[in-house]
């Protein structure tokens, strides 16, 4: 039985006092749980503060992106080793906002995935189709292309110990959630595609759903057999909302 994961993505939000208030409220509501992992992916400048608040607690922390480069003349980049130095254990790679706004094409995402792994981070590898792609019936083609870029560069064994996230672009920050059946179908597709290369890795691979998850829809989504938790944007900025999702994951685990 796979464990559950709830990961917050703060995106470009936060402030020193606001982060502290949020994390203290989250910590007041969580207990360590053997079957359920909780993490927040925060803007890089806040990693040191977040480490100070979360070290020794059940909440892990990570980055929202990782450079495909290790070091050198790459102004503005943050390497996997830098994230690790600040205690991050994971990093999102291939988020649709980075794909759409910052030029993260499939090949670049594959390089970032490899860089995160090399640095000892758990990549949270995001994939998902746009509304236009869903309406044209090419969702599985898009997911296959995005997944294959990583499989071809790193191999299926490199997915072991990592986390996938299915995030339909049309559901991110829109209030429109995929139905639990739509999520299950996409997750099962991704798992089967990894399974063609390595059945054992596929069977233990956590696949999170992301896209307008809330306390009110989390239980239904997390009850699906291939949905192993959620990647949470907006609701991760409100302690009570994030905790409600966490409680749903614990109940489903
Ligand atoms: C996300 O940013 O990964 C996300 C899923 O956002 P939201 O929960 O706000 O849709």
What does the pLDDT read at residue 87? 98
Q: Specify the pLDDT at position 123.
A: 98
Placement of tokens 């059940």 in the chain: 58
Q: Tell me how far apart the alpha carbons of residues 193 and 144 are, in angstroms, rounded to a whole number.
A: 8
Whole-number average pLDDT of the chain: 97
Q: Locate tokens 């900025």: which residue? A: 237
Looking at ligand 1, which residue's alpha carbon is closest to its atom 1? 233
At 36-95, the pLDDT tens digits run 999 999 999 999 999 999 999 999 999 999 999 999 999 999 999 999 999 999 999 999
- What is the number of the ligand 1 atom nearest to the C-alpha of 235? 8
Q: What is the pLDDT of residue 253?
A: 83
- What does DSSP assign to residue 67? -
Q: What percent of the chain has pLDDT over 70?
A: 100
3-class SS of residue 71: coil
Taking only the tens place, the pLDDT of each residue in 145-181 is 999 999 999 999 999 999 999 999 999 999 899 999 9
pLDDT of residue 213: 97
Q: Which CATH architecture has domain 4-252?
A: Alpha-Beta Barrel (3.20)
Residue spans of the domains in the chain: they are 4-252
Q: Is the pLDDT of residue 1 over 80?
A: no
Reported as a pLDDT band with limits 50, 70 and 90, residue 26 is: very high
Whether the CB-CB separation of 207 and 165 falls below 8 Å is answered with yes
Residue 223 near residue 180 (C-beta atoms within 8 A): yes
DSSP string, 172-208: TTSS-PPPHHHHHHHHHHHHHHHHHH-HHHHHH--EE
Matching residue, tokens 């746009």: 130
How far apart are the CA of 31 and the centre of ligand 1, in A?
A: 24
* pLDDT tens digit sequence for 93-131: 999 999 999 999 999 999 999 999 999 999 999 999 999
Q: Could you tell me if the CB of 230 is within 6 A of ligand 1?
A: no
Which ligand 1 atom minimizes the distance to the CA of 95? 3
Handedness of CA 63, 64, 68, 72 (dihedral sign): negative
């Amino acid at each position: 039985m796979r464990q559950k994961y709830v990961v917050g993505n703060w995106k470009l939000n936060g402030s020193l006092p606001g982060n502290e208030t949020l994390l203290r409220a989250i910590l007041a509501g969580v207990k360590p749980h053997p079957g359920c992992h909780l993490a927040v992916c925060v803007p890089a400048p806040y990693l040191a503060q977040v480490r100070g608040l979360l070290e020794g607690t059940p909440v892990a922390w990570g980055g929202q992106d990782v450079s495909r480069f290790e070091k050198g003349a790459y102004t503005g980049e943050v390497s996997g080793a830098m994230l690790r130095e600040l205690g991050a254990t994971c990093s999102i790679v291939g988020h649709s906002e980075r794909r759409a706004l910052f030029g993260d094409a499939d090949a670049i995402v594959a390089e970032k995935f490899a860089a995160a792994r090399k640095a000892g981070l758990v990549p949270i590898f995001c994939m998902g189709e746009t509304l236009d792609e869903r309406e044209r019936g090419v969702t599985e083609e898009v997911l296959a292309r995005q997944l294959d870029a990583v499989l071809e560069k790193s191999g299926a064994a490199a997915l072991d110990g990592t986390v996938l996230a299915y995030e339909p672009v049309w559901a991110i920050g829109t209030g429109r959630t995929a139905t639990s059946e739509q999520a299950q179908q996409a997750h099962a597709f991704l798992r089967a595609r990894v399974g063609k290369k390595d059945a054992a890795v596929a069977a233990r691979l956590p696949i999170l759903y992301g896209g307008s998850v809330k306390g009110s829809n989390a239980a239904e989504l997390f009850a699906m057999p291939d949905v192993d938790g959620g990647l949470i944007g907006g609701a991760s900025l409100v302690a009570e909302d994030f905790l409600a999702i966490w409680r749903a994951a614990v109940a489903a685990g």
